[in-house]
């Protein structure tokens, strides 16, 4: 029942939330900000850290893990660790799928030739 109400756009908030002025103010502020985006807005949530996006951007440029490590002044193992995290977070099987996913989401741009 509640899921159907939420799916129709109804906001269900426990009265206890509004009994605390600071919490109520924050919740209402967030709702107002979300309302500005409207239904047509693209998702604004990115599950990747800025560093992970930076690594994917370099991968999209055709760099190897070793080249990415050199460009970002980190170890190759750190790049590999970030890539494992990226693949897990995006539920993809390889770096190509991760790059395509990130491009479709608008997190990174098509490489410029």
**What is the full DSSP assignment across 15-70?**
HHHHTSHHHHHHHHHHHHHHHHH-TTPPP----S-HHHHHHHHHHHTT--HHHHHH
Tokens of 30: 């967030």
Q: Please, are residues 55 and 108 in contact by the beta-carbon 8 Å criterion?
A: no
pLDDT digits (tens, 9 = 90+) for 57-103: 999 988 999 999 999 999 999 999 999 999 999 999 999 999 988 88
* CB environment 69-84: b (16+ within 10 A), e (fewer): beebeeeeebbeebbe
Ordered structural domains, the chain, with CATH: 2-37 (no CATH), 50-105 (1.10.10.10)
**pLDDT level of residue 11 (50, 70, 90 thresholds):** low
pTM of the model: 0.58
């Amino acid at each position: 029942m509640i899921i159907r109400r939420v799916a129709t756009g109804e906001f269900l908030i426990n009265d206890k939330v509004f009994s605390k002025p600071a919490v109520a103010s924050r919740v209402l502020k967030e709702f107002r900000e979300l309302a500005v985006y409207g239904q047509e807005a693209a998702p604004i949530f990115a599950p990747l850290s800025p560093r992970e996006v930076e690594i994917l951007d370099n991968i999209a440029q055709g760099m190897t893990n070793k080249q990415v490590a050199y460009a970002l002044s980190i170890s190759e193992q750190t790049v590999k660790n970030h890539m494992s995290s990226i693949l897990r977070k995006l539920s993809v099987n390889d770096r190509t799928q991760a790059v395509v996913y990130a491009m479709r989401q608008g997190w990174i741009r098509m490489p410029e030739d």
